[in-house]
Amino acid sequence: ALAEVAVLGRGLGELQALRELTLCFFGCSALSDLDTLGEGAGRLVQLRRLRVTIGCCIAVADVAPLGRGLARLPALQKLALDLHSCTGLTDVTALGQGVGKLQALQEAAIYLNGCSGLQEVRALGESLGQLPLLRKLTLDSRKCASLHDLAIFNAGLGPLESLRDAHLCFHDCRRVADVAAV
């Protein structure tokens, strides 16, 4: 299965004129390596809309390749990343850094619900604040049992003058003790 994803990733990079892409790997429990997928998607510089579903892929622990790929998509306007229930995921720093490079981004939906090992979202929060055109944001972090610090979202989202529609869900994040900063 891993070889097939690598072939797909390499093939994606050849579709230079692509404007919209949906990739769904929901429930692919053996999927762990996103290197060629991130690399291939990162070559689609004309891409305006991207939807990636990797939900319930329990072997995925590193989304840095996706972050590096995103950083190379200057025309991207709409992004949906569904990483829900990727229980091996602990850090989205590189993903956040990639999102921060998307200066044309107007809509973002990021689903991290059920990523029970996720501890750090600082880079994601900071990066969202660097997107001058972002007007719609959905961030679902329900049941992220290890997540505890939400203060960065206040600092990160504060400068977003264009933001008109925000849905932030932290339901059942049991380690979150202080929501005053949000």
pLDDT in tens, 20-41: 999 999 999 888 889 999 999 9
Spatial distance between the Cα atoms of 54 and 60, rounded to a whole number of angstroms: 8
pLDDT reported for residue 155: 61
Q: Does residue 2 carry a pLDDT above 60?
A: no
Q: How many helices (H) and strands (E) in the chain?
A: 6, 6
pLDDT in tens, 46-72: 999 999 999 999 999 999 999 999 999
Q: Does residue 86 carry a pLDDT above 60?
A: yes
Q: Which domains does the chain have, with CATH numbers?
A: 19-169 (3.80.10.10)
pLDDT reported for residue 72: 97
More confident residue, 11 or 119: 11
DSSP H or E segment with residue 133: none
Confidence category of residue 148, pLDDT binned at 50, 70, 90:
low
Residue 13's contacts (CB-CB under 8 Å, 6 or more residues apart) are 39, 40, 41, 42, 43, 44
Q: Confirm if 118 and 90 have CB atoms less than 8 A apart.
A: yes
Identify residue 140 by its one-letter amino acid code: D
Q: Does residue 8 carry a pLDDT above 90?
A: no
Spatial distance between the Cα atoms of 39 and 14, rounded to a whole number of angstroms: 11
Identify residue 55 by its one-letter amino acid code: G
pTM of the model: 0.90
Confidence category of residue 75, pLDDT binned at 50, 70, 90:
very high
